[in-house]
Amino acid sequence: MKRTLVTLILAMALPFNVHGAWISVTSTIQTIKIYSTTDTILVTLDHPGTVVSECSNTLSFAIDGTLPVDRRKQMLSALLMTKAAGNSITLTYSDSGNCVPWDADANAYRGLVRIIF
């Protein structure tokens, strides 16, 4: 009984990811759209990446307008530099959830969690 209790406590203490895994896509940037009304930045690549079933848009990615301004500026800067140079970029997003809302659609775009350039 004591051994079972210790095992249960240890299992509960182990970290786990309830949001799934991160997936990445590497491609060149097709378009960058910046919206002042929502502070959201949309990015479309030449390769659309893996579909996230919870997010309704399967073509574009979003930098959420609710992120801190400095973080959005850093991510936008990376996108613009990469687009101007014509280089490939790697966008990382969650394989489940983490969708960015747009108008009435609460789960529109795949939200970016990391950019590698």
- Look at residue 89 and give its three-state secondary structure: strand
d(CA 49, CA 24): 7
**Residue 97, token pair as written in the block:** 């959830």
Nearest to 31 by CA among 54, 48, 16, 15: 48
Q: What is the pLDDT of residues 8-56, one digit of tens each?
A: 343 444 444 455 799 999 999 999 999 999 999 999 999 999 999 999 9
| pLDDT at site 8 | 38
State the amino acid at position 94 in one-letter form. Answer: S
Domains and CATH numbers, the chain: 17-116 (2.40.50.110)
Inform me whether the pLDDT recorded for 1 exceeds 80: no
| Average per-residue pLDDT for the chain | 88
What pLDDT band is residue 73 in, cutting at 50, 70 and 90? very high
Average pLDDT, integer, range 103-111: 97
Closest to 110 in 3D by CA, of 1, 38, 25: 25
Residue entry with tokens 């969650």: 94
Evaluate if residue 80 carries a pLDDT over 90.
yes
Best CA proximity match to 90, nearest among 82, 102, 100:
82
**Model pLDDT, residue 11:** 43
Residue 20 has a pLDDT of: 77
**pTM of this prediction?**
0.81
